[in-house]
Homo-oligomer: A and B are copies of this chain.
Amino acid sequence: MNITAQQARLLVEAAESKAAEIGAPVNIAVLDAGGHLKAFSRMDGAVLGAIDIALGKAKTAALFEITSESIWDFCKPGGPAEGLQSTNGGLVTFGGGIPLKTRDGQMSGAIGISGGTVSQDFEIAKKALDAFVS
């Protein structure tokens, strides 16, 4: 089942709360299972270039149903699918994009975070995910 507006709001709030706690202003993008924009928030201080990256991480996670960094295993030099990252209008293959699934494993959407370091972005996305599944 597709993510609801209420769930998207909770995800954004959880991400913003974690981001504020660690002092990393970020962009938060929430897409539905079809990869369409559901909610977005750019915190004050997040660089403009991270808007597109947050959207790209979420798109990557939504389209492939795995985390954005997992795609890297396929398209890295010597990987089985070099160039994969250029498909679908461009994928983002580092951490911060996570698919959202229901308890029974159905795709519900994806979240993408960008604005901090890659590990901060990943940490924030992970924390938001906790708000989603609990």
Contacts and interface: CB of A to CB of B under 8 A. Distances in A.
Given A36-B34, A48-B34, A86-B85, A43 B80 contact: no
A102 interface: no
A7 B33 CA distance: 20
Contact of A82 (B34, B65, B86, B94): B94
Instruction: State how many copies of this chain the complex holds.
Output: 4
B40 A37 contact: yes
B5 A41 contact: yes
Interface residues of A, number: 50
A49 B87 contact: yes
Residue with the highest number of chain B CB atoms closer than 10 Å, among A33, A37, A65, A76 = A37
Residue with the highest number of chain B CB atoms closer than 10 Å, among A39, A40, A89 = A40
Contacts of A94: 80-84
Contacts of A90: 86-87
Interface of A: 4-5, 8-9, 32-44, 47-49, 51-53, 56, 60, 62-65, 72, 76-77, 80-94, 117-119
Given A49-B64, A83-B91, 16 more contacts: A5-B41, A5-B44, A9-B41, A32-B34, A34-B48, A36-B51, A38-B42, A47-B64, A47-B65, A49-B60, A52-B88, A53-B84, A76-B82, A80-B119, A82-B93, A83-B93
